[in-house]
Amino acid sequence: MAPAAVCNNTNCLHGSAESRQTPIFKDQLSLDDQFAKLVSGIPLTTYYNDPSVSPIPVSWGAATPTSRGPIVASRAGKGVKKHNTIGSYGGCYNIYHALAVASHQLNPEYRADYTNAEPAYHFKPQPQWFNKEKIVALDPLGHLAPWEYGHIAESEEVEIKPTISITKAHLQLLEMEDYVKKGELEVDGEVVVNQAGDLAVTKLAVDPVWYLPGVAKRFGISEIELRRALFNDTCGMYPELLTRPDIKTFLPPIGGLTVYIFGNPENISDSSKKLALRVHDSCGGSDVFGSDICTCRPYLMFGIREAVKEAQAGGAGAVVYFQKEGRALGEVTKYLVYNARKRGGDSAAEYFKRTECIAGVRDMRFQQLMPDILHWLGITKIDRMLSMSNMKYDAIVESGIQIVERVPIPEDMIPADGQVEIDAKIQAGYFTTGNQITEEELKSTMGRSYTELK
């Protein structure tokens, strides 16, 4: 077993080596008896009408941080009685946290020490942060939690964790070096910091926090319908979805998002300045490993370049990167679809059908919740939208943000095998400045078959 991580900060309240190594069951009971003992000591859920339950008040959309109140998910300390959120901090990573506890490498009572962890850039509060309709899928005060609500954590004996963090970095991307060499990107020492094309960036990581009535409203369904589906589809992982109608917020175990801002972050909410923006949904195969079956990395690099150029011209540029692998169907489904495509004659005409055959739908990204981060940033107008997706465009415009111009990926950046995807998407409604594609043309756009792959 790997040794437990050791923090040198003397303020940290790490568990002792002894507590990490103490097994839960010391006596020699049968497995049946061990389970009986386990279940008798742990309430399987809490109930809204239990008089001993007293959640810390939270009022989504309230006008100030104090009247809004903290998002309290943890069961640590007095959290079992006082939490006001369903689910756990850390989204899907909570399972690793559980493994660290189960393997005695982490004391379950360990409390984070946030010394020097406060945001590297302080975003000005926006009116949208206090509007319960505009933001329903993230906690607008998630970056302030430990500092704004630390006194509540202490006095109420609960654990309050941030769901947003903000830092600064340099990015090194081979494409940017190439753009500098070709004269397509200028070194200004501020955004493009050197001849290697290194980029200065302010970035935010955001874990999702759902305000259930607001999420239900976005989808035009009732809160009960939403709770029921979430309970069933997670195989009962969150019984409080059914037993705590008084709790309105939920931390879903799904991927979050990252925002990369180039130039002065203050410009992003200033509608007198131009903004170039790409909303990108993750594609590990292309974004990281360079697979040529889609246009993801090329469009991402184009998006970064254009965002940088807008920032250099005195405006703002940003890329919002959502963890929604394979159109939020997951990478396993994605590869199954690739197989079905490559074995069935990979034509643009059949592109979406292959996904529908396996997943039942062509897309589960549900862009309805995507604009929340744009509202959080205070964006009211996007001058250059670096995306062809009609779903993203519709969601943004319907949420009240103006889009001035839509910018498709340049033709010469589309990999040969990725033409199938882009043609199918254009035919399905994606924006293009080129010709619309006919049904006939769609049939003739073919990708490689497996016999042509090395």
Residue written as tokens 């300390």? Answer: 77
Which is nearer to Zn ion, 250 or 321 (by Cβ)? 321
Within 13 A of 62's CA, how many CA atoms are on the CB side? 12
Residue written as tokens 């379950």? Answer: 108
Q: How far is the CB of 336 from Zn ion (least distance, A)?
A: 15
Question: Which pair of structure tokens corresponds to residue 164?
Answer: 């947003």
Among 5-13, 32-40, 182-190, 294-302, the segment contacting Zn ion (CB under 5 A): 294-302
> Which of 185, 247, 294, 318 lies at the binding interface for Zn ion (CB under 5 A)?
294
Per-residue contact track with Zn ion, 264 to 283, x per CB under 5 A? -------------------x
Which is nearer to Zn ion, 380 or 390 (by Cβ)? 390
How many Cβ atoms sit within 10 Å of the Cβ of residue 409?
Answer: 21
Among 122-130, 149-157, 170-178, 292-300, the segment contacting Zn ion (CB under 5 A): 292-300
Which is nearer to Zn ion, 294 or 320 (by Cβ)? 294
Q: At what angle do helices 331-343 and 351-359 cross, to 10 degrees?
A: 130
Sheet with strand 316-322: strands edge to edge: 164-171, 199-206, 257-262, 316-322, 275-281, 381-385, 402-406
Among 156-164, 186-194, 295-303, 342-350, the segment contacting Zn ion (CB under 5 A): 295-303
How many Cβ atoms sit within 10 Å of the Cβ of residue 62?
Answer: 14
Q: How far is the CB of 295 from Zn ion (least distance, A)?
A: 7
Which is nearer to Zn ion, 156 or 287 (by Cβ)? 287
Which is nearer to Zn ion, 129 or 352 (by Cβ)? 352
**By CB under 5 A, residue 296 contacts Zn ion:** yes
**By CB under 5 A, residue 137 contacts Zn ion:** no
Among 116-124, 252-260, 284-292, 384-392, the segment contacting Zn ion (CB under 5 A): 284-292
**CA 7/CA 14 separation, integer angstroms:** 8
| Listed residue (329, 392, 384) closest to 362, CA to CA | 329
**Cβ-based neighbours of 232, under 8 Å, separated by 6 or more:** none
Range 366-375 burial, b when 16+ CB lie within 10 A, else e: bbbbbbbbbb
Q: How far is the CB of 294 from Zn ion (least distance, A)?
A: 3
Residue 448 annotated among the catalytic residues of the structure:
no
**By CB under 5 A, residue 388 contacts Zn ion:** no
**CA 450/CA 454 separation, integer angstroms:** 8
Per-residue contact track with Zn ion, 401 to 420, x per CB under 5 A? --------------------
**CA 273/CA 213 separation, integer angstroms:** 34
**By CB under 5 A, residue 308 contacts Zn ion:** no
Among 149-157, 262-270, 289-297, 430-438, the segment contacting Zn ion (CB under 5 A): 289-297
Size of the site for Zn ion (CB under 5 A): 4
Q: From the candidates 363, 372, 417, 423, which is the catalytic residue?
A: 363
Helices (H), 219-330: 223-233, 240-243, 284-287, 296-312, 325-328
Q: At what angle do helices 419-427 and 351-359 cross, to 10 degrees?
A: 90
Q: How far is the CB of 390 from Zn ion (least distance, A)?
A: 18
Q: How far is the CB of 441 from Zn ion (least distance, A)?
A: 22
- DSSP one-letter code for 347: B
Q: How far is the CB of 283 from Zn ion (least distance, A)?
A: 3
Which is nearer to Zn ion, 286 or 399 (by Cβ)? 286
Which is nearer to Zn ion, 263 or 326 (by Cβ)? 326
| Listed residue (90, 341, 42) closest to 205, CA to CA | 90
For residues 133 and 214, is the Cβ–Cβ distance under 8 A?
A: yes
Residue 218 annotated among the catalytic residues of the structure:
no
> Which of 46, 286, 387, 389 lies at the binding interface for Zn ion (CB under 5 A)?
286
Among 63-71, 242-250, 265-273, 293-301, the segment contacting Zn ion (CB under 5 A): 293-301
Q: How far is the CB of 411 from Zn ion (least distance, A)?
A: 18
Within 13 A of 236's CA, how many CA atoms are on the CB side? 2
Q: From the candidates 278, 341, 365, 384, which is the catalytic residue?
A: 365
Which is nearer to Zn ion, 310 or 363 (by Cβ)? 363
Catalytic amino acids? 363, 365
Contact residues for Zn ion (CB under 5 A)? Answer: 283, 286, 294, 296
